[in-house]
Structure 1
Amino acid sequence: MVSAVSNTNAATNASSNASQSALSNNYELFLSILTTQIRNQDPLSPADASQYTEQLVQFSSVEQQIKANDQLETILNSINSLNASSFVNYIGSEVTVDVSISSLNGSSAQWKFEAEKAEDVLVYIYNAAGEEVYKGTDTVEAGENSFRWDGLSPDGRQQENGDYLLSVYTLSGDGTPGTNIPVQLKRTVDSVDFSTGSPILDVGGTRVFPGQVVAIGRRA
């Protein structure tokens, strides 16, 4: 865990150091050119002092930019460490996670969600453009449920691979959608992975982003 956080900061530092090195090289080159210019000017016709003043102002700006980069790097490292610490605090907590989006890969997409009681439901699936690509009925049980989609629309067309949104509603007596059943799971956070640069929570074997967490409960 700590190693992963350190690797993230190390990558940030490496990128910052590379940029700072390039800026420092330009700084040294500027100083060398200015010094050479002063040394080789015609003593009988020296350069206008205002020109040197302008160049020194540019020189000072470069120096300030290097110092600002150092300060920003320090601030960025502090922010990364604070963010890492805040997500580590998720470990052991029970969270409610929105799992309404799943990826269709080939001919299969699957969702797991919890329902309070057994009942018939209406199921809708939407593509990334918000278009309805599937509508059907199903039956859920009290507790955890699983819904698998073969990627076919009602007219038999195979849908493209990508992310799809599942919406579930209770089925009214007249066949219309009733109450929305949130496509959510309650799980305990087992660990946090920082290896990709963005934190990913391991929630009962399911990898989720912090943005999917809709509620946080007590530690287990």
Structure 2
Amino acid sequence: MMNLNSASAAEGVNAGSYQSSRRSVESSTKDQFEMFLRMLTTQIKNQDPLNPMENTEFAVQLATFSGVEQQVQTNLLLSQLLSDTYGGGLGQYSNWIGREVRTNSPVWFDGASLSLAMDNITNAEGATLVTLNGQGREVQRQILGAVPGEMQWSGRHADGTSLPAGFYSFRIEEQNSDGSYVARDVEAYSRVTGVELTANGPELVLKGGGSARIDQVSALRE
């Protein structure tokens, strides 16, 4: 498992390589365009006044010039589009698809156990796991005993019945030494199925159609 900072650093290297390649292609295309323009200008300046370039030949030259200019503009616009999509957005997260992210965003439950991160609990003996459904309503409370850094949440009640399929989020109510309680979110793992570019930047599509912003992710694992 890697944390988000190390994952972002690795993706930054890929983004940097892409940007370098893009600039190289743009520079090469621009150089070819400028060379063509210089050749055409030189040809016109040095043509024989007694035998000037015929109209049809000159028209062909101008058409070629126009075609090259349009190609340059097309390449620049395409490079800009790719830069927006890959250099600073979707591309750097595309290899997250198929992997699991740790997030405080609601995650999909379909009967299979979910992995919950419990590594920040300081007093597990006095902690309660609270489960909320997709509408934010409390649907389950579980008294925790000693738990490792990660626990498997089965989505079952004490009588063995299972919660219905849907989106769930979690929080811990932990008792302090003075008897007071503090509540905080518990992060869960969910598999990434896609990446979308939204008005707020890249957003991960999670199992079951859920979603999570990049700033809602704290870790990444296979």
TM-score (norm 2): 0.41
TM-score (norm 1): 0.41
